[in-house]
Amino acid sequence: MTTQFEGGGFWRYLGFRPDGKVAAVADQPTDVDNDAFLLWSDGHRQRLLPRARRVTDVFWAAGRLYAVADVESEFTGLVEVNQDDPSKIRRRLLTGATGDVLVAVPDPSGVHALVAINHGMRDALGLVSLEAGTFTEMGKSLPEGILHHQYTDYSPGHGRQVAWTPGGHSALVTWTSPVLPPEVFDAVSGTQWTSAGHDDSRHLVPR
């Protein structure tokens, strides 16, 4: 392991460029805000979207840089970052007008991204075209619930609960509710892959 830089505070990785030469990192003084940077392999750092109070997810797809951040907005949304000047956004793809975009995970082709949007006690899943910016709702066959979140460390939380299969035909999500344990579902087909809760017919679903 090579030390890239040293500094105080709590740091977490937000994402890596596919060539492994640049990472997105964040200094996270609290659970509700952070300062994001691009970190090169030689230790050079550059601020990423300094006008955002929160940058919660970063990824590269098809040579472009994307982030989930609350730039000039109450809620986090999906934006494309200007790579010539990472302090600015190039365009907004999903505004999250009524709730936070929790995570965006690109498919293997880099054409679409699976996104989760929080609406209070429930989350909604959708597919965003990274080129056109169009949004298609998905996961309607999943039970009402939320994307599971891992709170045990400073590594990316929601992003660890979403994964595309290599061919991009299935998107696996860890889905949970107040009365049921986390289960793995295919957000594309609605198929439940695990059964940690076994027979859940006895549970009441809050409305």
> pTM here?
0.84
Q: What residue ranges do the domains of the chain occupy?
A: 11-139
81 with 93: CB under 8 angstroms? no
- Cβ atoms within 10 Å of 72's Cβ, excluding its own: 10
CATH number assigned to the domain covering 11-139: 2.130.10.10
Provide DSSP, 38-67: EEETTS-EEEE-TTEEEEEEEEEETTEEEE
Q: How confident is the model at residue 87 (pLDDT cuts 50, 70, 90)?
A: very high
pLDDT on residue 145: 83
Radius of gyration of the chain from its Cα atoms, rounded to whole angstroms: 17
Q: Which residue has the higher pLDDT, 197 or 60?
A: 60
Is the pLDDT at 154 greater than 80? The verdict is: no
- pLDDT > 70: what percent of the chain? 84
**Which position has the higher pLDDT, 30 or 21?**
21
pLDDT at 159 > cutoff 70:
no
CA–CA gap between residue 181 and residue 51 (Å, rounded): 37
Least confident of 30-39, 47-56, 142-151: 142-151
Provide the pLDDT confidence category of residue 157 given band limits of 50, 70 and 90.
very low
The answer to whether the beta carbons of residues 173 and 166 sit under 8 Å apart is no
